[in-house]
């Protein structure tokens, strides 16, 4: 575990050192849970967004995109339930003055029981070797059974308190479990309070009467309130989807784990409008399609799992998360929700507008049901980084840090190096960049020895490097080096485009999905 935490720390500093992610307002010592993307980060992030956008809008002829404003009519958030219910339960420790999410403190306690059980199992596995029967051990070992019983009882109490919004109940659990503040070590807790996660600001000058508006906490509502506009102007027939990528804002109480939980982040959301009664079939279908999208990146099926929600939001009749194996455990990257007709019906009620679909096949109107797929760009970015980062021991005893980014997502696809800065080699190398830069992102580099230049490109995940040497000027060939295998081959300059373009294009990923 500690080793995994070290790896995570290294990934965070790698992100800063190589221009992927910087703390926001860095020269002012940062701003809590807000981050900026640097010169390489923005390219990787844009590629992730392209991959998602093209999957949705190119591969599905019944999905179109929109880009709605961040500021929206304040009644939208009343209708959606966010004003009244978009809360987290918070608790303060009076000694450290630190604020925590009560539910997270309890979840961490549940995880501690899991860890104790896993430790017992690991110890026994080591002791018994090949003869070890894990299922039998878990079913019979006294210490495992005792911890399992405590864990299950806590989990049950926690679920009941959360489902009933029982804040006193949550505090009582924290007291009974003797949960202490990790900073002060004391159990001097305040009561648990609800804390609304929406940021608000004022629109308009006070003279004309300013009104309180919110920074959107999800992009989805911009889609719901445009349902009629898009359906009518696009003459969309159910089932159809509307996709959107954009910023969302949440005043997270506890912002942890780098870009995993941010106060300003980006979402890629798609609402798929279906006939009532067909939603659970579509829910299963979208689970499949989204999992295929993730797995096409080649990170290994074993690193993904679904986590079905036990506690459903009041408007949902099914919900499942796609979780990815991060260095700090399996964590949610995407949510897939069957949201019934809740949002459209609420907006119809609050706006007074009829929001329905006339189904020509059934000759009747109804309020469509909605399947939502919602993924955080930043979390996706983090999962890509975590999986790609490697400190590789080489045969000669040296270590190289390499990002095995899927080539289609890599910020730079090709780096072109002249072997030396003389004899016309820089000019030839620049000629290659000038030719290929129309097709994919290339850079020219002449500083330092070739070995150092390779290492710099490995560290930012550039899949291909090309070296121009004196022979190039006579035979028209260059050395093409592969990031992952470090193998080098001599190829003709005119073949470079065809050798590289396919491998680094988003299309290469999309083709795996058809």
- Contact residues for ligand GAP, defined by CB under 6 A: 218, 220, 250, 252, 261-262, 265, 267, 269, 332-335, 372, 374-376, 378-379
Please, what is the minimum distance in Å from the beta carbon of residue 246 to ligand GAP?
12
Cα within 13 Å of Cα(60), Cβ side: 21
Which of 384/496 has CB closer to ligand GAP?
A: 384
Please, what is the minimum distance in Å from the beta carbon of residue 203 to ligand GAP?
23
Spatial CB neighbours of 503, under 8 Å, sequence gap ≥ 6 = 407, 408, 463
Q: How far apart are CA 192 and CA 90, in angstroms?
A: 5
Which of 356/372 has CB closer to ligand GAP?
A: 372
Which of 325/441 has CB closer to ligand GAP?
A: 325
Which residues are paired to 241 by β-bridges? Answer: 63, 272
Please, what is the minimum distance in Å from the beta carbon of residue 239 to ligand GAP?
19
Q: Is 377 left (phi over 0), alpha (psi -120 to 50) or beta?
A: alpha
Please, what is the minimum distance in Å from the beta carbon of residue 262 to ligand GAP?
4
**Between helices 2-17 and 377-388, what is the axis angle to 10°?**
110
Spatial CB neighbours of 420, under 8 Å, sequence gap ≥ 6 = none
Spatial CB neighbours of 190, under 8 Å, sequence gap ≥ 6 = 91, 92, 93, 94
Which of 270/468 has CB closer to ligand GAP?
A: 270
Spatial CB neighbours of 29, under 8 Å, sequence gap ≥ 6 = none
Please, what is the minimum distance in Å from the beta carbon of residue 382 to ligand GAP?
9
Alpha helices in 129-254 (DSSP H): 134-140, 142-163, 167-176, 220-224, 227-233
DSSP 77: H
Q: How many residues does the chain have?
A: 514
Determine the distance from the C-alpha atom of residue 220 to the mean position of all C-alpha atoms in its chain, rounded to a whole number: 16
Please, what is the minimum distance in Å from the beta carbon of residue 70 to ligand GAP?
14
Nearest position to ligand GAP, beta carbon = 376
Please, what is the minimum distance in Å from the beta carbon of residue 489 to ligand GAP?
40
Please, what is the minimum distance in Å from the beta carbon of residue 257 to ligand GAP?
10
Which of 93/373 has CB closer to ligand GAP?
A: 373
Which of 247/393 has CB closer to ligand GAP?
A: 247
What distance separates the 2 farthest-apart alpha carbons in the chain? 81
The two three-digit tokens of residue 214, written as one number: 């919110």
Please, what is the minimum distance in Å from the beta carbon of residue 335 to ligand GAP?
4
Which of 249/357 has CB closer to ligand GAP?
A: 249
In the sheet with 318-326, reading across from the earlier edge strand, the strands are 63-65, 240-249, 264-274, 369-376, 329-338, 318-326, 304-308
Which of 43/334 has CB closer to ligand GAP?
A: 334
Which of 220/409 has CB closer to ligand GAP?
A: 220
Q: How far apart are CA 65 and CA 56, in angstroms?
A: 8
Task: Name which of 358, 342, 339, 223 is nearest 279 in CA terms.
Answer: 339
Q: How far apart are CA 88 and CA 310, in angstroms?
A: 17
Which of 216/428 has CB closer to ligand GAP?
A: 216
Please, what is the minimum distance in Å from the beta carbon of residue 507 to ligand GAP?
25
CA dihedral 430, 483, 388, 293 (to 10 degrees): 80
Which of 231/244 has CB closer to ligand GAP?
A: 244
Please, what is the minimum distance in Å from the beta carbon of residue 339 to ligand GAP?
8
Which of 33/432 has CB closer to ligand GAP?
A: 33
Which of 53/464 has CB closer to ligand GAP?
A: 53
| Residue 47 · residue 408 · CB < 8 Å | yes
Cα within 13 Å of Cα(71), Cβ side: 8
Please, what is the minimum distance in Å from the beta carbon of residue 331 to ligand GAP?
9
Q: Is 32 left (phi over 0), alpha (psi -120 to 50) or beta?
A: beta
Please, what is the minimum distance in Å from the beta carbon of residue 369 to ligand GAP?
15
Q: How far is CA 439 from CA 69, 432, 436, 442, in A?
A: 32, 12, 6, 9
3-state secondary structure of 311: coil
């Amino acid at each position: 575990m500690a080793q995994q935490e070290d790896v995570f720390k290294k990934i965070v500093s790698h992100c800063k050192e190589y221009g992927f992610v910087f703390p926001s307002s860095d020269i002012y010592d940062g701003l809590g849970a807000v981050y900026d993307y640097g010169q390489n980060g923005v390219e990787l992030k844009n590629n992730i967004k392209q991959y998602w956008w093209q999957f949705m809008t190119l591969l599905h002829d019944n999905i179109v995109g929109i880009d709605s404003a961040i500021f929206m009519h304040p009644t939208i958030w009343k209708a959606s339930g966010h004003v009244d219910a978009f809360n987290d339960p918070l608790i303060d420790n009076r000694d450290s003055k630190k604020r925590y999410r009560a539910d997270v403190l309890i979840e961490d306690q549940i995880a501690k029981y899991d860890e104790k059980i896993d430790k017992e199992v690991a110890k026994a596995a080591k002791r018994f070797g090949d003869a070890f029967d894990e299922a039998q051990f878990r079913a019979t070992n006294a210490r495992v059974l005792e911890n399992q019983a405590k864990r299950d009882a806590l989990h049950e109490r926690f679920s009941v308190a959360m489902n009933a919004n029982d804040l006193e109940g949550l505090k009582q659990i924290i007291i009974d479990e003797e949960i202490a503040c990790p900073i002060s070590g004391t159990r001097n807790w305040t009561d648990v309070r609800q804390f609304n996660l929406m940021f608000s600001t004022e629109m308009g000058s006070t003279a004309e009467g300013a009104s309180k508006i919110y920074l959107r906490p999800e992009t989805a509502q911009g889609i719901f309130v445009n349902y009629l506009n898009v359906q009518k102007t696009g003459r969309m027939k159910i089932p159809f989807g509307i996709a959107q990528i954009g910023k969302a804002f949440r005043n997270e109480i506890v912002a942890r784990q780098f870009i995993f939980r941010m106060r300003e982040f980006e979402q890629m959301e798609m609402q798929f409008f279906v006939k009532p009664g067909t939603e659970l079939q579509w829910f299963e279908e979208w689970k499949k399609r989204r999992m295929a999208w993730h797995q096409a990146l080649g990170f290994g099926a074993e690193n993904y799992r679904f986590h079905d929600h036990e506690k459903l939001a009041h408007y949902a009749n099914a919900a499942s998360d796609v979780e990815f194996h991060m260095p700090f455990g399996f964590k949610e990257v995407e949510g897939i929700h069957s949201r019934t007709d809740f949002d459209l019906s609420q907006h119809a009620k609050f706006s007074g507008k009829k929001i329905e679909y006339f189904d020509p096949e059934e000759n009747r109107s109804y309020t469509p049901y909605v399947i939502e797929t919602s993924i955080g760009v930043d979390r996706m970015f983090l999962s890509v980084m975590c999986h790609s980062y490697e400190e590789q021991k080489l045969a000669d005893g040296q270590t190289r840090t390499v990002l095995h980014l899927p080539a289609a997502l890599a910020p730079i696809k090709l780096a072109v190096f002249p072997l030396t800065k003389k004899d016309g080699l820089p000019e030839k190398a620049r000629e290659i960049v000038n030719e290929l830069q129309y097709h994919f992102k290339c850079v020219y580099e002449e500083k330092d020895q070739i070995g150092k230049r390779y290492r710099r490109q490995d560290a930012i995940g550039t899949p291909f490097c090309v070296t121009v040497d004196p022979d190039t000027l006579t035979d028209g060939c260059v050395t093409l080096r592969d990031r992952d295998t470090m193998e080098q081959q001599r190829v003709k300059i005119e073949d470079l485009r065809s050798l590289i373009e396919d491998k680094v294009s988003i299309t290469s990923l999309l083709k795996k999905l058809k």
